[in-house]
Amino acid sequence: MSPAPLRVALLGAGTVGREVARALLERGSELTAADGAPLVLAGIAVRDVDRARAAGLPAELLTDAPAHLVAAPDTDVVVELMGGDEPARTLIAASLGAGKAVVTANKHVIAHHGPELEALARRSGSALRFEAAVGGGIPVLGPLAADLAANRVTAVRGIVNGTTNYILTAMTDEGRGYDEVLAAAQSAGYAEADPSGDVEGHDAVNKLVILARLAFGSWLAPSAVTTIGTDGPGAGSPGITGVGAADIAAAAKGGRVIKLIASARRGDGDDAPTASVLPTAVAADSPFGRTAGVLNRIEIDAEPAGTGVGRTEAMTRRSSSVRAVARSLTTLPAARAASMSAARMPTCSRSRRR
């Protein structure tokens, strides 16, 4: 007997939301796990119904009342793609409180309200999935939470914002100034009209908070992440806003290039992790140095548990598997089924900008 379909409510139908909607409508059977419930798109909440209809989305699925979709008793999974803080946070919280699984790529909400939302999910037995919030094209959050769970992660670092990496690469390769490259990036669609979230490091901070949560098991306050350096490239200014031609030239003389590196390191004992998002000079021929344009790169340092040739790897894999089983057994059956199917739902990475 095949399981009953899981009805999916989609909140937001922008660039990413439209592609998720089309994938569910056109390739729903492909997105269904072999032993999972089929996914059915139950509704799409948008700001402008007429515009969404003109974009080709089915009129019968459209609504401008997202709260009604969340509250509908036959909604099983809520996919939040609205972005921003409110009303996204309230809708995610309401969904989890009602026992519905949630899939979101909203790094701001997860970074700033993660503890609250995790607690809600734990109390209700709901699944909260946010793998697409960091490095949409790099499957890093799942491995951190599962495959590396038996290891002791000591540090995580990366280039996690494509906009700033594009700007720094162009300044280095083309010899242009920050303001000129930023204007070109905005014209090309790589940077927002208000680029502060990217160039001041806020976007990278949100992503680092999420990475640190899975790496170290605790939440960092975004305000605790250092974004203004006291020395080095761009010192005294947030993110990359203070990086100038002199910084680029000084780095080049030493065979280095400047990258905006998000970095978090586990604290000693009970000490809190230390974290920063700062312009950093790295060797031009290093993996970070060769990560150019809008590309991202994430590196993880971890200490394997156990000792002995061959035994360490086997023990780590088995311990991680046992942890995965334990986590699944603490989830209510309905939510666990929703989580398994939600994990197969499509994610779209806006690699041009993020």
Distances (CA, A) of 126 to 37, 38, 79, 168, 323: 16, 18, 13, 41, 18
10-residue mean pLDDT profile of the chain (354 residues): values are 83 87 83 77 93 92 94 93 93 95 92 94 90 68 62 89 94 93 88 91 95 88 95 94 95 96 88 92 96 91 64 42 39 42 44 42
Determine how β-strand 39-45 pairs with β-strand 62-63.
Answer: parallel
Rounded distance, CA 45 to CA 61, Å?
Answer: 8
pLDDT at 319: 37
Catalytic choice (100, 207, 253, 259)? 207
Is the separation of the CB atoms in 209 and 201 below 8 Å?
A: no
Q: For each of the domains in the chain, give its residue range(s) and CATH number, in order of start.
A: 6-138+329-342 (3.40.50.720), 152-303 (3.30.360.10)
Helix ranges, 189-310 (H): 196-199, 202-216, 245-253
Determine how β-strand 128-129 pairs with β-strand 101-104.
Answer: parallel
In the chain, the N- to C-terminal Cα span, in Å, equals 43
Q: Is 207 labeled as catalytic in the residue annotation?
A: yes
